[in-house]
Structure 1
Amino acid sequence: MHKIGTFLFAGLLAIGTASAPIAGAAEQQKKAKEAYPSKPIRIVSPLAPGGSADAITRMAGEMLADAFGQPVVVDNRPGANGLIGLDLVAKAAPDGYTLVVASGSNLAVNPALHGAKMPFDVERDLVPIMQVASQTFIAHTSPSFPVKSIRDLIALAKAKPGVINYASAGTGSTAHLMAALFESMAGVKMTHVPYKGAAQGRFAVISRECDVMFDGLLAALPLIKAGRLRSLGVTSAKRSAVAPDIPTIAEAGVPGYGADAWYGLLAPRGTPGSIVAKLWATVAMSLKTPKAREKLLAQGVEPVGSTQKEFRAFLKAEIVKWGKVVKEAGVKPE
């Protein structure tokens, strides 16, 4: 009995000793999560500096830095319509210290353009935290073009299939795909003319080199107010707070039409739920402040602040939606 008791005690002692490092590691992980963040955070912007996407990334960084008292560094990694920056984040350590603010084009259009050649899977390898903001586009034309409304545009395009042309910032750009969606839903055929940037396309419409363009609202609005462009309708499902007097395309003649450029905050797959929840709560609270709203509206974008569940469902729906548009329009990556 004595020998058995001694043996049993020794065995239990050995088990306890072996499990101590495991328990210790788990405790350390728990403390690390509770202490998050304890060092600087990096937010990758998969687009070049300047423009709405970069501004929103920097705003998100300011929100986190102010709330956490830790430096937040914006790391611009442009290239391949955001794939370079997104791939970096998808393969980063899932510890909450590498995040990304990406656009709808980066996240929802690339899967359709590149398919199996994508170096990562958007839905599998990235954790959606929040849709931070959305940006309305606008369909516009020259005041000298014989079209004053969306209904006029549809009527003329149906009467002369393929004759009306539209400018964009490039093949597969947000403007291109918004126009392609319009063609599909309105049942018309127009001719796409890609330019090297939105500014070139915009001034092609002013000079009557092109007839129509789907364009960023903030960039086009001063030219509309100056009488150099004529507004036809905004692309969003609801009227924009930036220009509430301009009707939506859905109101103006294409029921159900709705498309925005949008921006979301994401983390690598495997990032602890507690950290994701902390990031979401921090940004959600900041977005509700008048200061944040004013800053976003100044960039021509509106705050969204969706829940994680809402953003995940929205992202899935956007991938399906734009995948269909890309396929129907026969868009190929450049």
Structure 2
Amino acid sequence: MMKFPRAATALSAMALAAAPALAQPKADYPHKPIVLVVPQPAGGAADQFARPFGQALSQRLGQPVVIDNRPGANGNIAAAYVARNQPADGYTVFFGSVSTLAVNPHLYKATGFDALKDFQPITLTNQTPNVLVVGAGTPYKTVADVVAAAKKEPGTLSFGSAGNGNTMHLTGLQFEAKTGTRLIHVPYKGGPAALNDVMGGQIPMMFHNLSAVLGPEKGGRVRVLAVADTQRSRLLPNVPTMAEAGAPGVVQLAWSGMLVRSGTPAPVVERLHREMVAILKEPAFRKPLEEQGFDVLSSTPEAFAERLKADHAAMGEVIKAGNVKID
């Protein structure tokens, strides 16, 4: 029988003892603050969701969650920052949206990221339908009023949006296609700026997220004429769907979700998914956000990846059909 020196035997034993630790290098995750990158300015719809979410995640993980607002280029700046400048270690989380991940790749020659390859989806977090909203000072009381005005003088009625290719813009394109109208698109550098001009009378209308217009609607500064969804909103039960209002086929749900860099270790993704889903299912977290118009939801990473892939293809078709280009 072959004998090994005692020193070699001791080293072998040490290696075997260390093996489990080497197999699970992320067992201490997280051991430092986590950054949640939000592609909208402070106060925007995404920021309004991200801040309470970050606070809840911090409590569950036992580490600070820092909100990093990086607006610009319809989310491209924030997405490229995460995809190109941050390590795949789970300490930088991206709050992505359908606009940035499914729309932008078809609009920009160089986004700085690959939406389908550079990110590991964790969970969807929320969605909200777009709505047709008009200023309180306009004469429009129904979708039929808007359509009649647009057809009376084609190419004169304008609508605002958060920028070229944003889902607000694409909803407007759907509206034109389904109603046989021709509108003037006025792109802004963000949804809040466009909504301010709707309320101020500088532009007559826009297709905005329901969550962003509830406050102004309750204050009487705007009127919501229709919801771009297949069913009415529980928050505005008297407002018809686009189909009910005479514009069938105009459906646009703006979703958001949490992602990390592709290549992030599986144990980290699993931990984040477990904690995030627990937050999203907590009534105390859901209720105030649902009152603001968010439809809070959760998903598996696989289901989120499939939705991203499907919407990436669908938005590409809409953009091609509408010949949408970045000015």
TM-score range, shorter chain: 0.7 to 0.9
Residue 299 of structure 1 deviates from its aligned partner by 4.1
Identity of aligned residues (%): 39
2:143: which partner in 1?
Answer: 150
Q: Decide which of 148, 165, 171 is 1:172's aligned counterpart.
A: 165
| Structure 2 residue identity aligned to 1:237 | T
Q: Deviations over 1:61-110 (max 9, x none)?
A: 22222112222222233333322322232243222222111222221221
Aligned CA distance change for structure 1 residues 156 and 132 (closer, same or farther; 3 Å)? same
User: 5+ residue gaps in structure 2?
Assistant: none
Whether 1:215 and 2:212 are equivalent positions in the alignment is no
Aligned CA distance change for structure 1 residues 271 and 196 (closer, same or farther; 3 Å)? closer
How do 1:48-197 residues align onto structure 2 when only pairs under 5 Å count? Answer: 48-91=41-84, 92-115=86-109, 117-142=110-135, 145=138, 147-158=140-151, 160-197=153-190
TM-score by length of 1: 0.82
Name the stretch that deviates more: 98-107 or 194-203: 194-203
2:323: which partner in 1?
Answer: 330
Could you say which structure has the higher helix fraction?
1
d(CA) in 1 for partners of 2:83, 2:59: 26
d(CA) in 2 for partners of 1:71, 1:201: 33
1:249: which partner in 2?
Answer: 242
Give the conservation status (yes or no) of the 8 Å contact 1:63–1:282.
no
Aligned CA distance change for structure 1 residues 204 and 48 (closer, same or farther; 3 Å)? closer
Give the conservation status (yes or no) of the 8 Å contact 1:296–1:303.
yes
Aligned CA distance change for structure 1 residues 289 and 326 (closer, same or farther; 3 Å)? same
**3-state secondary structure, aligned to 1:183:** helix
Give the conservation status (yes or no) of the 8 Å contact 2:158–2:204.
yes
Give the conservation status (yes or no) of the 8 Å contact 1:52–1:299.
no
| Structure 1 residue identity aligned to 2:256 | Y
Give the conservation status (yes or no) of the 8 Å contact 1:131–1:304.
yes
| Structure 2 residue identity aligned to 1:107 | L
Give the conservation status (yes or no) of the 8 Å contact 1:53–1:102.
no
d(CA) in 2 for partners of 1:204, 1:269: 40
d(CA) in 1 for partners of 2:175, 2:101: 21
1:309: which partner in 2?
Answer: 302
Give the conservation status (yes or no) of the 8 Å contact 2:57–2:275.
yes
Whether 1:289 and 2:282 are equivalent positions in the alignment is yes
d(CA) in 2 for partners of 1:80, 1:329: 20
Give the conservation status (yes or no) of the 8 Å contact 1:101–1:265.
yes
d(CA) in 2 for partners of 1:121, 1:227: 42
| Structure 2 residue identity aligned to 1:112 | H
d(CA) in 1 for partners of 2:214, 2:292: 12
Give the conservation status (yes or no) of the 8 Å contact 2:122–2:260.
yes
Give the conservation status (yes or no) of the 8 Å contact 1:237–1:259.
no
d(CA) in 1 for partners of 2:90, 2:193: 39
Q: Deviations over 1:194-235 (max 9, x none)?
A: 345545544544565533321233443344344443321122
Determine which structure has more spread, i.e. the larger CA radius of gyration. 1
Name the stretch that deviates more: 133-142 or 308-317: 133-142
Name the stretch that deviates more: 172-181 or 30-39: 30-39
Aligned CA distance change for structure 1 residues 278 and 54 (closer, same or farther; 3 Å)? same
Q: Decide which of 229, 232, 244 is 2:222's aligned counterpart.
A: 229
Give the conservation status (yes or no) of the 8 Å contact 2:103–2:166.
no
**How many residue pairs were aligned?**
323
Give the conservation status (yes or no) of the 8 Å contact 2:45–2:212.
no
2:232: which partner in 1?
Answer: 239
Residue 261 of structure 1 deviates from its aligned partner by 2.4
